[in-house]
A and B are shown apart, each in its own frame.
Chain A
């Protein structure tokens, strides 16, 4: 008996918010305390000290929209870049494999903030790139590399018997990937992708540095014009926290729904 069953592979969570675990169910979970606590604090602050808290809350929604725009566009693009990178990383074609692997190595070795500066200021010194596009480009390139590793791990977690069964029926490599491997890999991939999503959302705060009017940038604008630094950044932190907690709840819900094939 030469066939060994590979154990179910679970891709490790390395970043993003803590994904709620089934076990800590009950009235007082960490998630509930954090989520309802921060909403409670926001409401209390706005009710009892509307100036400046309510003013801040009214000032930043534009920024929330921009943060979401950057997040969603970047996540969709990096999903596809990640898929291509992941396929490249497992390709038997030496050249493609080397390109994909080098891309991942290089990008993972450079801090996102430096990449952002590089695209906006360094590349921007030759050809002017609007900040919004520079932001999306940098996020996509960076998270495409991270996502590539998630895809690679997901694809490699599928038993090689699946490929053999598909090939023995007459499917070519592309069809095997499309109909048999990727649909299964998606199940392993979705939770960590969701997690990258949360990490990416938080990292979009970096783009405020290159004049993209996201949530953090709006906060800074408000703070510098009113000198309410403490109040403003308290509100900004609470809003980020609420958004991130909501997203992590979605991810854990998705994870729960996805596990069994029944």
Chain B
């Protein structure tokens, strides 16, 4: 993979919350079809970095180029860019007043102007793929956490995004439900989706990640293949962190 294939280019990004420096000189290229897993201690800036990619968080300085468009440029059509950037949250954030099916069809109908029938066909296929077609007419509250998160993934996929962002998608789940969500993500990875995943599921990282990014105190400390991280991490902070979570 060469530099030209970078679908996300993060260049010298700084982010302040008031006086607090949450991201410090972040540089990272994500290539087409690449799977990046971001790890790091709590408060290290993982969510903040992920959220700057779709500009749920504005940067203080620096550039982020997504699919050829600088999203940090003022006046850029963020809503349009966001349709090609799916995001999955730790707390699912399904729309509780809509059925599962409606959760999936709302954005395609309103934003892509699909007909109800077209949108529902796509939605049902996606629900089938994530294994909860039979819950299409239920409300989110009636589903388990694992099922809700799979719906949330399907909802993001319904917009046919080029890139998927995941912010600790399994850390709000009971242990027995983590597997079903990771399986859906692994399938997605096999299909060639570009994925940026904040997660401490090291089994998933080992199996799926092309590169692992370790963050600490707002900085990227170390980047490498999963093997590199498991066999010979260089930085002492990385070693310390990995020894805690492994």
Contacts and interface: CB of A to CB of B under 8 A. Distances in A.
Interface of A: 1-3, 5, 159, 161-162, 164-172, 175, 179-180, 183-184, 187, 260-262
Nearest to A184: B97
B56 interface: yes
A165 B90 contact: no
Contacts of A262: 139, 141-142
Q: Which are the 4 A-B pairs with shortest beta-carbon distances?
A: A170-B83, A165-B93, A168-B87, A161-B93
Interface in B82-132: 82-83, 85-87, 89-91, 93-97, 106-107, 110-111
Contacts of B144: none
B95 A162 contact: yes
Nearest to B94: A165
B82 A3 contact: no
A47 B200 CA distance: 80
- How big is chain B's contact interface, by range? 35 or more
11 contacts: A1-B90, A3-B91, A159-B93, A162-B93, A168-B54, A168-B82, A168-B85, A168-B86, A169-B83, A170-B159, A262-B141
Given A261-B96, A261-B141, A169 B156 contact: yes
A165 B95 contact: yes
B232 interface: no
A169 B90 contact: no
B139 A261 contact: yes
Interface of B: 42-43, 47, 54, 56, 79-80, 82-83, 85-87, 89-91, 93-97, 106-107, 110-111, 139-142, 152, 155-156, 159, 168, 171-172
B200 to A, nearest CB: 11
Q: Which of B56, B79, B139, B156 has the most CB of A within 10 A?
A: B79
A154 to B, nearest CB: 13
A178 B168 CA distance: 29
Nearest to B140: A261
A184 B168 CA distance: 26
A1 B107 contact: no
A172 B155 CA distance: 17
Q: Which of A5, A165, A167, A180 has the most CB of B within 10 A?
A: A165
Contacts of B79: 167, 170-172
A5 B91 CA distance: 8
B159 A169 contact: yes
